[in-house]
């Protein structure tokens, strides 16, 4: 990125790049209108209102790009000087509306500017988060915090519609290649406001994209599968969750340790529900030692240890949004313990007293016979145990073969 020391240099850089009409130039312009690029710290760019083209000594040849850049300077002023994130978010929406109307809709047969659009959307999401924080921290505010995210989603969705109807046959110039990136943008917004149901048509469009899918950027594919896997996990679709998160993890660059770690935070619980426990070496490599006690407890069938592990790392698991899912590992932990009991007893008819004794050994003393029968009935109903309860005889009668099916096999049926 070329350095510049004045506003004239800044506009000159953008002017030269916008005349090249290629993807790499679009990526460079995207940085120059990003809120996280080094130029954002330059005080000479913190201008509240740069004025009309006729009154400025330096303008870009592309009038629309010029107007977008001026609005960007207004956003910078409100972020860096006024710290008015609500106004900044509103201005960023203006930029995206202008971009959609004057560039996406009118410039046919070209898509080199899409990296600019991607950056504008990403910055809008960040500004929406900051604006939400401002309203949330104001007890007298009468605006709904989610309205910022919803206004962001609305303008991105409008642009999405513009891109999906592009009739260009050449994928090298088609705006349809923006579908996946915009779907990812909306995924992140809808996760924030808990409206994942609105993603159904977007997911269906990606599923039906055919050969166009090959043209999407790998970074967008990785992000999409990460978000799709998270959604599938919360929808209890473990097979789709595993498939999507594994794709994201395997295709995420090895040097992106932080991103691979984020993927593992969701992939690990999914794998555990499918009966695959992570190694302690993997957990340590990706700084996920919070899972170690949980994994050890589930493998040992130790309910008290599991409860302690969840309590000890509660803050991390809640922040990651997986605490409630990890609590459901109790049923798998019960299953592990009961499987050990069945091995020790060595017969197909296992007295419920044997399970009670085992529970007391692992520190569980508050489960009476009725609750124990309920737990076993749930394990049978969910196919984690093959057998039936003989209430009159106080026994669990298990199948003579494969009484404890593999968890991955159960999920696949």
Of 165, 166, 167, 160, nearest in space to 181 by CA? 160
Determine the pLDDT at residue 172.
Answer: 84
Q: Got the DSSP string for 287-306?
A: T-GGGHHHHHHHHHT-HHHH
Determine the pLDDT at residue 138.
Answer: 59
| Whole-structure pTM value | 0.89
Determine the pLDDT at residue 141.
Answer: 47
Beta strand ranges found along 37-94 (DSSP E): none
Rounded alpha-carbon distances, angstroms, from residue 203 to 223, 234, 262, 335, 355: 13, 16, 22, 35, 45
Helices and strands of the chain, counted as H and E runs: 20, 3
Give the pair of three-digit tokens for residue 25: 């130039």
Residues 6+ apart with CB under 8 A from 262: 226
Do 159 and 95 form a contact (C-beta atoms < 8 A)? no
Q: 192-239, pLDDT tens digit by residue?
A: 999 999 999 999 999 999 999 999 999 999 999 999 999 999 999 999
Do 360 and 303 form a contact (C-beta atoms < 8 A)? no
What residue ranges of the chain have pLDDT lower than 50?
A: 1-2, 140-142
Cα(155)–Cα(310) distance, integer angstroms: 41
Q: 11-41, pLDDT tens digit by residue?
A: 889 999 999 999 999 999 999 999 999 999 9
Q: Got the DSSP string for 331-359?
A: HHHHHHHHHHHHHHH-SSEEEHHHHHHHH
Do 146 and 136 form a contact (C-beta atoms < 8 A)? no
Residue 138: is it exposed, middle or buried by C-beta count within 10 angstroms (0-12/13-18/19+)? exposed
SS3 readout for 114-134: HHHHHHHHHHHHHHHHHHHHH
Do 188 and 224 form a contact (C-beta atoms < 8 A)? no
Residue 110: is it exposed, middle or buried by C-beta count within 10 angstroms (0-12/13-18/19+)? middle
Indicate the Cα dihedral angle 383, 385, 391, 394, nearest 10°: -170
- What residue has token string 């770690």? 261
Cα(295)–Cα(207) distance, integer angstroms: 34
Rounded alpha-carbon distances, angstroms, from residue 322 to 106, 195, 231, 308: 44, 18, 12, 16
Give the pair of three-digit tokens for residue 48: 């509240």
Determine the pLDDT at residue 48.
Answer: 82
Determine the pLDDT at residue 61.
Answer: 66
């Amino acid at each position: 990125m070329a350095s510049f020391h004045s506003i004239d240099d800044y506009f000159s850089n953008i002017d030269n790049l916008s005349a090249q009409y290629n993807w790499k130039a679009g990526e460079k312009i995207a940085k120059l209108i990003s809120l996280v690029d080094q130029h954002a710290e330059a005080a000479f760019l913190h201008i509240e209102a740069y004025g009309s083209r006729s009154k400025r000594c330096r303008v870009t040849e592309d009038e629309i790009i010029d107007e977008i850049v001026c609005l960007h300077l207004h956003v910078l002023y409100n972020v860096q000087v006024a710290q008015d994130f609500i106004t900044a978010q509103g201005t960023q929406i203006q930029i995206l509306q202008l971009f959609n109307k004057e560039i996406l809709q009118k410039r046919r047969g070209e898509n080199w500017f899409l990296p600019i659009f991607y950056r504008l959307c990403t910055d809008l999401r960040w500004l929406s988060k900051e604006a939400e924080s401002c309203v949330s921290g104001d007890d007298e505010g009468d605006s709904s915090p989610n309205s910022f995210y919803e206004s962001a989603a609305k303008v991105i969705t409008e642009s999405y519609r513009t891109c999906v109807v592009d009739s260009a046959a050449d994928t090298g110039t088609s705006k349809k290649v923006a579908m996946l990136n915009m779907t990812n943008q909306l995924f992140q917004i809808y996760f924030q406001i808990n409206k994942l149901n609105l993603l159904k048509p977007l997911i269906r469009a990606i599923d039906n994209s055919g050969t166009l899918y090959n043209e999407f950027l790998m970074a967008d594919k990785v992000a999409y599968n990460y978000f799709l896997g998270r959604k599938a996990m919360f929808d209890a679709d473990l097979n789709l969750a595993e498939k999507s998160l594994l794709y994201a993890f395997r295709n995420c660059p090895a040097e992106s340790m932080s991103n691979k770690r984020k993927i593992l935070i969701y992939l690990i619980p999914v794998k555990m529900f499918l009966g695959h426990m992570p190694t302690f070496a993997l957990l340590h490599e990706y700084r996920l030692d919070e899972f170690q006690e949980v994994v050890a407890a589930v493998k040992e069938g130790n309910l008290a240890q599991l409860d302690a592990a969840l309590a000890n790392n509660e803050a991390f698991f809640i922040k990651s949004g997986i605490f409630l899912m990890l609590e459901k590992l109790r049923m798998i932990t019960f299953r592990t313990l009961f499987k050990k009991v069945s091995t020790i007893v060595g017969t197909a008819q296992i007295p419920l007293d044997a399970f009670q004794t085992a529970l007391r050994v692992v520190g569980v003393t508050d489960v009476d016979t009725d609750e124990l029968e309920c737990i076993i009935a749930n394990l049978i109903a969910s196919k984690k145990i093959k057998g039936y309860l003989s209430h009159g005889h106080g026994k669990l009668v298990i199948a003579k073969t494969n009484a404890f099916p593999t968890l991955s096999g159960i999920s696949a049926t």
